[in-house]
Structure 1
């Protein structure tokens, strides 16, 4: 068994009640991290805090109900970052749609929550980590930032911006002994992904057929596969990794 040396470290995870964020929070709990879970739904936060607290063998699990599109909520989450060793930004879902099908309001909402929410929390975490000369920030982004999708122009745009942001900040952060990294998941088997694919199902849509019938390994990624790699990246085992964004899509972005 590989010791990731995460026992007792303080981790803040956004988007922690569902999908990839929840899987990462669970993995960090199993590794002994003291967790702060951030999400919009208070009952879901309470439920996950109880569940993950039982897995964490006594490590504390705190919660913050917050909408990361609201500056006042960002400020409340920022307080939890003062002593955080790890920040995982996994919150935010940008509405799908082509340019003329995506309203200005929807685009701005997606940019606010996932784009500026991630950037603002990175800024706050980095400020404290720089002062202590230690810490890791991991941004969960998405492979549409590498392979733009005209049917999801907002998602592609926000993800591309966050890839550039992560690489830029992570290239200089080692000067302060802080690491900043990202993960670009492809299709991951979460309830949200299933709902999006079902809503967009069209037997005449070649892109949809490609996504659902030509998957690497014949399946989507499992959330725990993303979480396992995330735990490695935020651990001391990946101590020389910064400024990189790692794609986990089974090679799907390279298929014709």
Structure 2
């Protein structure tokens, strides 16, 4: 393949991620991320509804009695759940007191009660999520997750971005018969606002964000930054 054809193909590939201007500079756009770890978790435990325990006919005959029946059953389940948490020595708080609601479709009363469990490690979260599966009519949902302070990783991420920008700019300079000079401008930008960023980087980021439901999904997160770097070029 002739050199001119190679240059054309390379320019076509790099076009979405880099810009070469005729005024003695090369400008590139880069996006990257560093992984940060979770430091604490909240796990929300709530009681599931047991519709099979209450016949619709009974509710229609004596709604008040069934309301009491449902409340007592829920209270017993809640006490059992709290006993479980105490025995396992988990740190927990009760959820805000719920009002008794009516499911209009089935005309069955229900109570939304449960506990918020505070966990200090991923191992505790994983352990509790497994234990909950053994409990009767109890659902577990991951609540607030706290991660390491992003500022700790600022220098590392900026270093990665500048190195990435240099590699891209050097490639453009090489095939444009230019000599790459020093950095003359750096601008931070929101990666979602610019469609010119590396497409595969974006796909990988989105792939890591999906299915954010299980314990393993929240163990780590990504701190992402995008910048535009302009180099002097002669």
TM-score of the two chains, using structure 2 as the length reference: 0.22
TM-score (norm 1): 0.21
Tell me: higher relative CO, structure 1 or 2? Use CA pairs within 8 A at least 6 residues apart: 2
Q: Which of these two proteins has the greater Rg computed from alpha carbons?
A: 2
Higher strand share: 2
